[in-house]
Structures are given as structure tokens and as C-alpha cells.
Structure 1
Amino acid sequence: MAKAISNGNHALSSLLLAGLLATTSGAALAQEQGGAPGGGDALETITVTARKQAENLQDTPISITAFSAQRLEAQGIAQVNRIQDFTPNLTFANIPSNSGVASNAAVYIRGIGQSDFAPTVEPGVGIYVDGVYLGRTVGGVFDLIDVNSVEVLRGPQGTLFGRNTIGGAINVTTIQPDDSVRVKGDFKYGTDNLVNLRAMVSGPLADGLYAKVAGGIFRQDGYVNAPALGKKLGNKDSSTIRGTLRLAPQDSGLEVTLSADYTRDKSHGAPVVVTGIDPAAAGSFVTLQNFIATGFGNPADCLTTAAVTNTNCYNQRLYSNDTNYSTGPTFSDLKLWSASLTASYEIADDMQLKSITAIRRINGSFAQDRDGSNLGINHVYDVFTQKQFSQEFQFVGKAMDGRLNWVTGLYFFKEKGQDINPIDFLVVSAQSGGYYDYKNWAAFAQLGFKVTEALTLTGGLRYTEDRKDYLPDQYVVSTLLPFLDIPTGTRTVPYQTVEANVNKWTPMVSLSYQVQPDLMLYATYSQGFKGGGYTQRIFPPEPSLPSFRPETVDSYEAGFKLMALDNRLRLNAAAFYTNYQDMQLLVADASRVGPFITNAGKARIQGLEIEGNFVPGDGWRLNAAAGMTDAKFKRLDAGVQGLALDSKFVLVSKWTLSASVEKEIELGGAGALTPHVDWSYRSGFFTNANGINDPHLYQPGYSVVNASIRWQDPSRVYSLTFGVDNIADKKFRVFGDYQPSFGFYMQAFDRGRQYYARAGVSF
């Protein structure tokens, strides 16, 4: 497989053929209208809101993958990060970064994203829930309980979405209550005492007044032994509740929706293990520990076979793929809640005013004994809080008999909080972290004009002011003499507020041509940016807090969208080329302890996506998708360490492939059976930027196959599903970390094969 994929021309030909024959990911359906979800003689109409208004996917000149509630269920997706398995050129990982947080979204689209959770750096892909931007990646890997659709928008969305959508956006919409009384619920039990319980009730309270309540409980045992801590890491213990009240008086043109939710996510800690050390890291803390353990002799003596039982040595006794030997506190505890008020008013048939007001809070504490041993080499603790407020006004409309459409608006975002980060590094204890206070203002407009009935020109522009104040509160608590002689209380950086401010225009222009009713061609140029910031983790002391500049991209995209065979075949494809300037990377520096963020230089990224669905009839549904991301550094800034021009992007595969097949088998009066099989493939990638293509941090290409069979009663009210995920029990890497100043490799692997049964009700 790997050899075949390395042949670019052969692979592309095969993918195009596969697209024509079987073809968007089994994923590809947002709000569905018409057609049967399980099959039927024609594909559904897909409605998306990627451009702030409801549009047919096939009429939207953007590369989008969309998932409906039905598709999420068919693919067995209960947590948002699982969409990466069926979305071309998407990485949605859950990694602890440089902390012990158990829910941290590391999202990359077309090679652009961010893995660090620290509030001094922004995510590269924006996540939105019902139009509300989630400012922090902490808590960003959430469970899906009442989701109506999930849309993945590739490429910078710098006009309509703006802040930190340099790589793209993930747009989640929840089910809105209406006149219909709806009850949904399911119970899932599986491997390692997996228990998922989800429920939703929605319907009218009075004329024009509707309500919805939804909630979920998600539990599962851990799978990495931590004997000294008396628990297993990688467990899940999360609960969520959401309530919605919607006022929509008939014929009034007014609609007001109030929503609120609360989530508690508590776990034993991320499922990380130590897999090795780097003997060449002569100045590392591991080497210093082994120097002490040998009575100030030869540190290499700790690495001999005879020393394997020496508990003062840091050596191969700690290496494992399923056991962590930590003795220090390791846990993750998050509380998240939010509320939003969305009001819209129909000024006229073709004009609407909309307001989205929202608040969100995160309170978290998490800790990790990162060295995975009984030795105090690297332990971190975080007290993390965030408060955000956002206000958006939109004016959407059409004119000139529908030839002109527009979206204009104003946006304000404010957040403040802290990440106080005590650390213990063998010879020093210190406090790291600080307090942040950010504000963001923007004005935007996007206009589309039908030059002819077939040709549409769309242009957009956004002006953004981004203001960031950060106060580092970092000082030495104690040091171990004679190895380090820094007085207690010494500030590692001055206790003074620093600023990172930027004003930026981001344009977009798109040309689409409707060759025929079922075929559209389009080409788009768009620009995106992400604000600059500061490195949070500093040691030894420095005269000022190191900073980094904003990063920008210029993206060029061309594609087509096709419906064929009497709406039985949908085939969408896009090719793109991106210039990436001043890219922000988390890298190592031999002069500093711990990672830091820097502007690495310039890169170019090119690639393609192809997605499709095919319903040949008789209950069959075939889906396939493929993505290629070819990312290459073109220039590295002076002083960047641990990287070379041939270094690979972190967590980014060149190839992402997926396919699925399902068939609804009618059983007459006994209901229906739907067998489903899906396959996904990711080519090799590196899990960490530190070290030039370090093989210890490389995950070779791998495939995952899942299968399920669902029974539904004749009324489609009750269902029972049996399934198995990761049939081949692949234990692939999902996280890896190496820092030269510490000298050990820390990694996390997938849980492996899982069985489950799910019983559901929906009416």
C-alpha cells in the first residue's frame, strides 16, 4: 500500500476512478432533505451554512465535508474528533500538549493548525458551535449529543469567520426545537466498561414557543496501567447537559433562541507512556539524574543491563507501551459552561438581521508526572481559567431579483483568564504561566453577483483589530545546589504586561460557473491570518518575554461539484496551493528548558480533495474520499533549531483515504438490517517538531477498519446496533513528545480494538 501510494500519478488516477465508481466521505451529509437516510434511489439534498446562510452544498464554491446526524450515527461517531477518519486532509487529535489536560483539540486542515493549548498562542482552525467561536482548545474534544450537522470548511475563512480560521473552520450546529415532538435516546455499552447514555426531548410548549433538553453521560475505563498511582490512565468520565428555549411567533418574522450548556470532564490523565531516552542528549535532565544515580560517575552506567533494577536510574526499566510508572499527581478536571442568545428578524422576504450574543467559561486543573517514573525529573501542574464574551451582528439579504446577495456584519470578541503553571524540573521548582486579556474587533462584508445566469462573482473583505495583553507571573521557588544557584524568588521574566497587537485586512474573491444544472466549476483566492503572541514557558531567566509575529496564508483553490446519474452520484473535488508566511511552530531550543513558539519561516502547501457518494439502488450506499497534502518548508528563519528544510509537518499525513459501504435489507414485518463497513487510511506522519525527522516520533501509515450491523423495527422507532471498531487492533501513535532538555520520549497510542452494542429509540 505505502509503495503504491508513493507513486503520485498512479495514486491520483486510482482515486479519480474510485471517486467515479464508489464515491464524499460516508460523512458527507449535513441537513438532509429528500431521499432515505439509509439508501433509496437518489441522494439527499445537502444544506450547509458555511456562508452564514442556508445553501445547497452543490451551489457553494468552497471545499466542504458535512456530516448529518444520520451520517454521524451510521459512521459510529459519538465524539467530534472522530470526523478526522472520514474527512480528507483533516487531523483532529486529542493530545495533552505540554500539560496533563485530557481534552485538548489539536486540529489541522490542509497542514495548518496548532497543537499547543497555551493561551499565549491561538488555534489555527476555528471551532464554532451554533455560530459561537470557541476561543480555547481546552475542552475542544467534546461528545455529540444533539448535533444536527458538522461542517468542515477547508482553507482560510478570513472573511466571514475571521479570527483564527487561517487553516479552516469546523462549524457545529445543534438541533433546534420546533412544532414537532421529538424524543431520541440511546445506550451504548462496550470494551473497558464503555457506557454512553444520550437523550433528547424537544417540542412545543405553547404557540410559537419551543424547548429542548439534551444530556449525555460518557464513561470508560482507562487502558494504560499506572500501578504507583493505583489507576489506569486514558479513562473517560464526562457529563453534558444542554437546554434550548426558542421563541418564534407565527408570521412575526422574529425568532429568538436562548441556549445554555454545562460539561464536566474529569479523568485520571492522558494515556501516555515513556518509550525511550536519547543517549546523545548529553545536557539533559535524564543525563543529570543518571550522573547523580551513579555517584557522580558515568551516566552511561545506568543504561547497562546490570542497572535495570536500579530505581535511581532513568533507563529501560521505564519503557512500555501500556504501563506508566509515574508517582506524582496525574489527573485532568475540567468544568465548562456557556450560554448564547441568538435573535433574528426578517425585515423583508429577502433581508434578515441577526444577533449572536454568547458567553463561555472554562475552569480546569490538570497535572502530569511527565517523566513517567519515581524520579522528580519533569512534573507540571496547571490551573487554567477562561472567560469569553462575543457579540456578532449580521445583515443578510438579496436584491436585483436574486442576482445580488450579501452578508455584512460586525464582530467583537473578548476573553481573559489565567494559566498558572507550577513546574518541578529535578534541580529547580518554579512557577510558570500568567494572565491574559484579549480583545478582537472586526467588520466584514461579502457580496455575490450573478454576472450571467451561469457566472457568479463573489468578493469579501474583513478588517480585524486584534489586541492582546499578557502578564507573565513566573519566578523561581527553589533550586538544588550545587547544580543550580539561582536565588529563590528570582523572576524568570519581568513581571510586566506585554502586548501583541495587529490590524489586518483579509480579502477573498471567488468565481463560479454553472456549466449545467448539475455541474459547477469554481476558483477562489482567500487570505487568512493568525495573531502573534508570546512563549509562556521560560527557563532559565531571560530579560524579556520571547514573542512571535502573526502568521499569514494566501490560498488558491479550484474545484468542481457534480451530481450525475439521476442524482445517484455526487462527486466533488478541489485542488489547492497555499503560501504560508511566518508560520508559528512549537519547537525546541538548546538554550531553554521546555518548548517555545517561534516564527519558523515560509512554506508552501499544495494538494487536493475528492469526495463522493453513490446510491446504485436496492438499499446500497457507497462512499469514498481522498485527500493529499504536500507540505514543504521553503525557508527557515535564522536561529530556528531542530528543523531542516526537509523536516515534515507535525501530525500531518500526505495522504488521507476513506471508504464505506452499507446496505439496508428490508425484513418485511420484522423491520430492516443495515450492515456497515468503513475503512480509513493515513500515511505516515511525525508527532513532534523537535529533532529532524526523528524516527522515534514517526507513525508509519496505517489503516483502520470498523464494522457494524443495525436492526430497526418497521416503524424505525427502535434500533439495536452491534459493532467493532479497529478490527485489526492497530496500536498506532496519537501523540509523541521529545524535548532535548529532558532527553526522554513520551508517547500515547490508540486503545485498539473495541466492541460495542447500542440500543436506541427515536420518534
Structure 2
Amino acid sequence: MGRIRNERGVRGVSKVRLGGAVALGAIMLAPHHAVAQDSENRGPGAPAQAQTEGYDEIIVTARKRAENIQSTPISITAVSAAQLESKNAVDLTAIQNAAPGVTIRAGGGTSGAGFTPLISIRGLGQTDYTINTDPAVGIYIDGVYLGRSLGSILDLADVERVEVLRGPQGTLFGRNSIGGAVSVVSKAPSFSETSGTLSLTGGSREFLQARGSLNLPITETLALRVSGMARHREGYVDALQYDDFKLGGEKVWGARAALRFQPTPTLTIDLSVDHTKRNDTPAPVVALRLGDVSEEQSGPTGQPSTFFNSGRGPAATAVLPWISTDAPRCATDAAFRRTSPTCFGDAWLGGTTGSNSVWFNRAGERIRPENTFSVTGYGGTITLETGIGTFKSITSYREFESTFFNDLDYSPFVILHNNHEEPRDGGAPFGQRQFSQELQLVGTAFDRLDYVFGGYYFHEKGEEASDTLVPGNVPAAVAAASAPFLPYFSTSSRSIDNMSKALYAQFTFAATERLKLTAGVRYTDETKDYEVVQFRAVGNPTVATGRQGTNIWTPMFNIAWQATDDVMAYANYSEGYRAGGFAGRFAGTLTSPLPSFDPEYVTSYELGLKSSLFDRRLIFNLSAYQMDYDDIQVSATTPNLPGFVLNLAAARFRGFEAEMRAILGGGFMMTGSAGYIHKELTRIRPGTTVDGGSNIATVITTDHQLPGPAWQLNGELSHRLEFAGGGRLDTAFDVHFESADVNAVTNRSIIRQGAYAEAGARIAYTLPSDRLTLTLGARNLFDKSYFTQKSMTSVSGAAFGAVARPREVYLQATYRFGS
């Protein structure tokens, strides 16, 4: 039974979510691009292996125990360290080119920062970055859940493998994993010998990257592993109002140290610390249309932009430079508005390679912005082999702090800016601190019953202070007093204090040698405390608070049938939920009590087939699923509440996934994956509307499309040529395709993204010593121009999109020593 406790004016709800019935879905294929052992990989840096041999086993830990991926009856893709190296993967976004149904993109549209990602699996994801918004896909690093999406596009510097689990993971992984989970496993220290790698890369637009790792056995029971990386990338969208300033630039560095102590054969203690720091230019976002953003447009859009163009706002003292010099003509003459640089309109469009944004701080000073992000993590894992199973304790503390700036009018004017400034600039940063503790017991009883027991505790605190610069929205009553502070309007300070506790258990019973039955359940008790303080230039601050509690059971059931030694079929039923919360943005004064929204729920039914054929030279996996998506959290307007996140809809998703990898002979290999999803809205609360950046409100009906591509395809053809005298030459060509995406439930054509395909290629020579590999490669080989996201804002009346990185050619040298 699930129960939601709400306080301070928040509506209470009861739900029963513990249901049963294993049902269907059908079809998935697997370019399990990965291996826990690098010997499987045929890319640069992998040991030579006869091309007629089959694939090695891939070992994953998705179900808290080490298992062959082909014997794990869930939808999972694994990507190995060697494969990541051969693709020269920069960060976690590379995973979407290796797994079906997965989207991982750098964000920036609504935040202005490239490290606010868009991550979704099977069409379920997070589109907002605010401190009070929970993800729909769980990101884990070495078993530790990252509570906020900010900064979760991890750099893949010293990674053993990445596991991608598709579908709700509410039993073993818990809350906020309704789409699935991405688990990053770092390389652990080894007692074998001193070894390491050093990789140097240079490429287009001043792309410079260095990565290195060192494994150092200190004694027979103590080993240390250290790694580091640094990357510089020049931006690729011109800031047209600045000299020598480009958007989309990156400066990142990070380091990690891990210590392994094994005092006895049954006890292992792992300690780690990591730190990453980045200083970026603003995200590569360009305006698509300004002012008149809708096909049905009947006048200038957005109150602040209308005030600017008309020279008349709520305040009687509209003054330069916060209004147009050609007001009110900019408001009354549509043709003039769209062509004159004195107006807020399309005259300030810069195409896909330029932006006319100018950034200001809260003091009204023009700045050259720098977006920063800093994260530090500490971890400790104790593994003890006992007579009843393997006991594991995972303890972690992580914290991050960030500052970033966003010009949401994409013009030289100050119509709408949102900034997260450092304290010395008068604002407060965006930050979070989290502590988590997990205990696991994994074992086997009676030779046929596998079990997992676990307990989990998570506590986080976070703050976000967002300065709003919107001089056209000052209330008339305080206009004169506010004038000296313009363009500053207000600061919304949001803080969270969230706690989650859970117990879970999962059992797998071998009914016969070929038939296994699995059942599991998780109980979660979660409490969220939220406070918003709104400061304005004039007047006293206002405060609103809210508390929400959730008690919920999330079960799963699975049947796996090993039809032959090479073919397995399975059926899976699972449930998951994403936590509820409270409104974060307020156009005017705070609403008290705070509007709240309840958790959203997903129930998934899946059928799958996994096969290893022709002596493991062909791996072919299929899955099909149906997901019932209830109480969807939608940012919309209803007759009683304007523009908040509410539980407004229900939907049904149906799809299939297919993955394959094949050794073709003659040195050739091929991998491929396909994912298809059909989303259907089955219920909308009557009267629900979304303005989507237009002054024409859209009434949402069940005929509207939900955002996300229907099709995602990946393919790679690679070849290895081994020379008689030693050494080898590896070549590869890969393609990633996505079908069209409406980007928002309003289905506006201006923010619709057409279908696109992006290709990559590389050629690598490894010397006979197997120590040095030289690689020449290209990302976005054919320089395809497309957007990673598009959006609209009704406040400033702007449609905008984040531009994908253009072609990037690189040369890399990788040196290895030791094993």
C-alpha cells in the first residue's frame, strides 16, 4: 500500500500500488557494447583475439550480484572500459549511442548551463533542473545514488564499465528510477602489479584532453589507484555582442583516489575520494523566434516583452534603458517589431551559429559570464564474505556547488534574466549535500534459492537562490522605490531537506534447472521539507513552506526460462515511482499554502528474449514492454492554479528494443540497436492548458503527443587488421539516428525537432608492443546541424534551442604500461 502524507495545506491522497500479475510486452536486441573483461573488446587497446572466436562473457552487477549479462532476465546494456576508450567517449552522453531507448544530452535551454542534463530512458525523464525537482532516471556511481540531476553527466576517465538498466527499478534501486538506472562502475585498485595509462588528445576548436591512471600495489594487502583528467573545449556559438566569446566552451578537471585494503581473504575495505571542477561559458543556446512565437499569434508575447515594446508596464515610471526607444510603435506595428533592432523581436535572431544575448548581474552591470560547477565525493565500501552470504556496506557523502547565468530573452536587452550568482556578487549559489548508507546481504540457500536483503538511508539538504532581472514586471505600488535597483526584481531562495529510508528483499528460486522465479519488494518511507523565501528590492521578504511524506511498496516479479544453453526467455513485472514535491517558480507573489504535486507512478510489463548463437559469434536480444504511467507531473495551467507542476494526466507507453552484436569473419564486427516507443495520453484533467511561450493558450487533450523521439537507432561496423610482424589497425564507423521530437506537449511547430542522424569514424594503429595506440577520429563526421533540445518561455516570449556540437576531429595517443 502506498500512502502520501501532506502537511500545511497540501491535499492528502491514498493509493494502493502493490499489485501483481506478470504481463507482456515484446522485443529487444543487445549491442552489449560492453564487457567486464576488456578481452572481449576489439577496439584499440584490447588484447588481440582471433576473430573467429565467440564473445567472452560480460559480467554485470545490476541485481546486486555478479551475473552473466545473457543470464540476467532484465533489459540491460553494458559498455566496457575498452569500448569507451576506443570510442574516445568524453562523458556520459556517449552512452546514448550504445543503448536503445536512452537519451542523455547536455541541457542548457532553461538553465543556461551545459551541465544541467536531459536524461531519459523509455521516454521517461526530467526536463527541469531546479533544486526541488527529482530525476526520473537514477544515476549511480559505484553504488551511490546522485540525488540531483545537476552535474550528473559524469566524465568517464577511469571507468570499468557502465550498466544501463531500462524500465522501472523500484525494488533494488528505489525511488526516482521510473525510467531506469545508469550505474557507473569505477576501476578498483589491484594487487597484481604496477600499471597505468596516459592518454593525450587534441582536436578541433582547441579540444585538448589529458587522462591518466596509476595502479600501485603497496603491500600484498594494500593497493592504491589514482586517476585524473583535464579537458578544454572552445565554444562553437558566437556571442555576437562580445569580442572573442563563444558559447558551449568547457574547462574541466577532475581527480580520483581509491584505496583497497584486504586484511583477510574474506574482508575487503574500499575507500575513495573524487573531485571535479568545471568553468564553462554559457550553454550554446540560440533564439529561434522572438516576440511572435506562435502560428496563431495575435500580438506580442509575454508581459515583460510587451512592456518593453510598448513602454507601458504596471509601473507608471517605465524608463530607459528598460523600455524600447521606439515604444510604443514596437508594440503596435508588427512588421516594424520584427525587423527593427530597437524592438524586442526577430531582428535579434543570430541563426544557428550566433546569439545576441548580453548578460547582466543583479547590479545591472554587463558581465562576461562563467558557469561553474564543483563536486566532491567521499565513499567507503566494506565487503565481508560470511557463511550466509556476502555482506556489503556502502557509505557515501557528496556535495556540489554551482553558479550559472541565463539570458532568457536572447537579446541585448534586459527583459528576463535568471542568475545563480556567487555570494560575493550578492546572490547565493546552487548547492546540495547528501549522505547515504546502504547495507546489503547477498547469498544462496539450499543450492537453489538466491536472496538479496537490503536497507537504505538517504538524507540531502540543498539551496538554490535565483535572481530574476525583469524590470518590466515591477508592481506600480513600488515602482518609484524600486527604480534605483533596476533591472533587479526579485530573488527566490529555495531550500530542501529530504530524507528517505527503505528496506528491500528479492528472492530467485530455481524451480528446475531451466526455470527460475524471482519476486522482490521494497518499502520506502520518504519525507520532504521545502521552503521558499522571496526577496524583492523593496519590501519585506515573504516565506512559504511545505512538508510531504510518502510511504510506498514497489514490487517486482520475474519468470526466466532457459530454453536451451544459448536461449533464454523472460517475463517481468515491475513498479516504480518518482517523488512528489512543491511548486518552484512564481510569476508574482508566493502562493500560500504552497501548491503541491503527488508522486507519479509507473507499472511495467515486459517480455524478453536473450540468445547467444553460433558459438557466441552472434548475440541477439529482444524485449517488448507496456508501461502504464499514472499521475504524470505536468507543468500546466488549470482553472484554479496557473503555471505550476500538477498531477494532470495518465498515459500508456508501448515499445520494443532490439540489440545485437556479431563477429562476421575476416576481421569484421557489427553491432546495432533499435528502440521504438509509442506514447498515448489516456487521461487529461479537464481544463488543462499550456501557453508554451505563446499568448494563445493550448488546451491539452489526449490527441497531443508527448515529447521524445519514437525511434532511436544505433549501428557500428568495425574491422581489425592484424599484421604478421605484430601490431594491428582498427577502423570503425558508427551512426546514431533519432526520429522527430515535438519537445513539448503543446506540439508547437517552432520547437519541433526533425529527424536526424549523426555519424562518427575512427582509425587506430597499435604498435607491436601493445603499449601505444594512435587514433584519428571524428565525432559528428558529416557536420550535421541539429538541436539537442528546443523550448519556449511565455514570460519573455522566446523560442530557443540548444545547438549540438559540430564536427570534431581529434588525434589521440594512448600509452599503457603493466598488465
- The answer to whether TM tops 0.5 is yes
The 1:307/1:97 distance shift into structure 2, 3 A limit, reads closer
Counterpart amino acid of 2:730? T
1:392 aligns with 2:392: no
Counterpart amino acid of 1:440? S
Q: Which residue of 2 aligns with 1:407?
A: 452
Give 1:687's match in structure 2, choosing from 734, 743, 750. 743
Q: Which runs of 5+ in 1 are unaligned?
A: 1-14, 479-487
Per mean C-alpha deviation after superposition, the further-off stretch among 218-227 and 290-299 is: 290-299
Contact 1:165 1:530 in 2 (8 A): yes
Give 2:136's match in structure 1, choosing from 86, 101, 124. 124
1:316 aligns with 2:347: yes
Per mean C-alpha deviation after superposition, the further-off stretch among 81-90 and 463-472 is: 81-90
The 3-state SS of whatever aligns with 1:344 is strand
Counterpart amino acid of 1:654? A
Contact 1:588 1:740 in 2 (8 A): no
Cα distance per residue 1:466-489 (max 9 Å; x no partner): 1000110113335xxxxxxxxx33
What pairs up with 1:663-678 in 2 under 5 angstroms?
663-669=719-725, 671-678=727-734
Give 1:291's match in structure 2, choosing from 310, 317, 327. 310
Give 1:552's match in structure 2, choosing from 601, 606, 610. 601
Cα distance per residue 1:122-158 (max 9 Å; x no partner): 1000000000001111111121100000011000111
1:659 aligns with 2:659: no
The 3-state SS of whatever aligns with 1:304 is helix
Question: How far is the alpha carbon of 1:77 from its aligned partner?
Answer: 1.6
In structure 2, what is the Cα distance between the partners aligned to 1:269 and 1:313? 21
What pairs up with 1:186-225 in 2 under 5 angstroms?
186-225=199-238
Q: Which residue of 2 aligns with 1:443?
A: 503
Contact 1:268 1:331 in 2 (8 A): yes
Q: Identity percentage over the alignment? A: 33
Q: How many residues align?
A: 724
Contact 2:791 2:801 in 1 (8 A): yes
Q: Which residue of 2 aligns with 1:418?
A: 463
Counterpart amino acid of 1:734? T
Cα distance per residue 1:472-528 (max 9 Å; x no partner): 0113335xxxxxxxxx3363xxx1431121100000000000101111000010000
Give 2:533's match in structure 1, choosing from 461, 465, 473. 473
1:369 aligns with 2:369: no
Q: Which residue of 2 aligns with 1:37?
A: 42
1:326 aligns with 2:342: no
Q: Which residue of 2 aligns with 1:145?
A: 157
Q: Which residue of 2 aligns with 1:24?
A: 30
Q: Which residue of 2 aligns with 1:522?
A: 570
The 1:52/1:744 distance shift into structure 2, 3 A limit, reads same
The 3-state SS of whatever aligns with 1:84 is helix
Give 1:728's match in structure 2, choosing from 762, 772, 782. 782
Question: How far is the alpha carbon of 1:296 from its aligned partner?
Answer: 4.9
Contact 1:687 1:734 in 2 (8 A): no
Q: Which residue of 2 aligns with 1:483?
A: none
In structure 2, what is the Cα distance between the partners aligned to 1:549 and 1:441? 18
Q: Which residue of 2 aligns with 1:115?
A: 127
Q: Which runs of 5+ in 2 are unaligned?
A: 1-25, 44-48, 312-323, 361-368, 421-428, 475-488, 691-699
Contact 2:415 2:469 in 1 (8 A): yes
Counterpart amino acid of 1:79? D
1:563 aligns with 2:612: yes
What pairs up with 1:150-165 in 2 under 5 angstroms?
150-165=162-177
The 1:587/1:84 distance shift into structure 2, 3 A limit, reads farther
In structure 2, what is the Cα distance between the partners aligned to 1:35 and 1:678? 19
The 1:700/1:560 distance shift into structure 2, 3 A limit, reads same
Q: Which residue of 2 aligns with 1:646?
A: 703
Counterpart amino acid of 1:720? L
The 3-state SS of whatever aligns with 2:112 is coil
Contact 2:291 2:344 in 1 (8 A): no
Per mean C-alpha deviation after superposition, the further-off stretch among 363-372 and 204-213 is: 363-372
Question: How far is the alpha carbon of 1:388 from its aligned partner?
Answer: 0.2
Give 2:682's match in structure 1, choosing from 623, 629, 634. 634
In structure 2, what is the Cα distance between the partners aligned to 1:295 and 1:236? 39
User: What is the TM-score of this pair, normalised by structure 1?
Assistant: 0.91
Contact 1:353 1:396 in 2 (8 A): yes
Q: Which residue of 1 aligns with 2:316?
A: none
Counterpart amino acid of 2:703? D
Question: How far is the alpha carbon of 1:188 from its aligned partner?
Answer: 0.9
In structure 2, what is the Cα distance between the partners aligned to 1:78 and 1:114? 22
Contact 1:413 1:440 in 2 (8 A): yes
Contact 1:225 1:233 in 2 (8 A): yes
In structure 1, what is the Cα distance between the partners aligned to 2:38 and 2:343? 65
The 3-state SS of whatever aligns with 2:306 is helix
Question: How far is the alpha carbon of 1:707 from its aligned partner?
Answer: 0.7
Question: How far is the alpha carbon of 1:294 from its aligned partner?
Answer: 6.9
In structure 1, what is the Cα distance between the partners aligned to 2:333 and 2:398? 50
Cα distance per residue 1:352-379 (max 9 Å; x no partner): 1100000000111111122121211110
1:755 aligns with 2:809: yes
1:503 aligns with 2:508: no
Question: How far is the alpha carbon of 1:684 from its aligned partner?
Answer: 0.6
The 3-state SS of whatever aligns with 1:500 is strand
Contact 2:454 2:503 in 1 (8 A): yes
User: What is the TM-score of this pair, normalised by structure 2?
Assistant: 0.85
In structure 2, what is the Cα distance between the partners aligned to 1:477 and 1:640? 34
The 1:517/1:308 distance shift into structure 2, 3 A limit, reads same
Question: How far is the alpha carbon of 1:716 from its aligned partner?
Answer: 1.6
Contact 2:344 2:411 in 1 (8 A): no
The 3-state SS of whatever aligns with 2:342 is coil
In structure 2, what is the Cα distance between the partners aligned to 1:679 and 1:664? 19
Give the CA RMSD over aligned residues: 2.1
Question: How far is the alpha carbon of 1:386 from its aligned partner?
Answer: 0.3
In structure 2, what is the Cα distance between the partners aligned to 1:340 and 1:120? 25
Q: Which residue of 2 aligns with 1:58?
A: 70
Contact 2:416 2:795 in 1 (8 A): no
Counterpart amino acid of 1:489? N
Cα distance per residue 1:524-567 (max 9 Å; x no partner): 10000111001111122233322111000110001010000011
Question: How far is the alpha carbon of 1:637 from its aligned partner?
Answer: 1.8
The 1:590/1:418 distance shift into structure 2, 3 A limit, reads farther
Cα distance per residue 1:51-81 (max 9 Å; x no partner): 0111000110100111001111233322111
Q: Which residue of 2 aligns with 1:335?
A: 374
Q: Which residue of 2 aligns with 1:84?
A: 96
1:236 aligns with 2:245: no
In structure 2, what is the Cα distance between the partners aligned to 1:474 and 1:158? 36
Counterpart amino acid of 1:573? L
Counterpart amino acid of 1:386? Q
In structure 2, what is the Cα distance between the partners aligned to 1:155 and 1:537? 30
Contact 1:659 1:678 in 2 (8 A): yes
Q: Which residue of 2 aligns with 1:459?
A: 519
In structure 2, what is the Cα distance between the partners aligned to 1:440 and 1:219? 38
Question: How far is the alpha carbon of 1:696 from its aligned partner?
Answer: 1.0
Contact 2:340 2:347 in 1 (8 A): no
Q: Which residue of 1 aligns with 2:271?
A: 258
Question: How far is the alpha carbon of 1:694 from its aligned partner?
Answer: 0.6
In structure 2, what is the Cα distance between the partners aligned to 1:506 and 1:139? 28
The 1:591/1:98 distance shift into structure 2, 3 A limit, reads farther
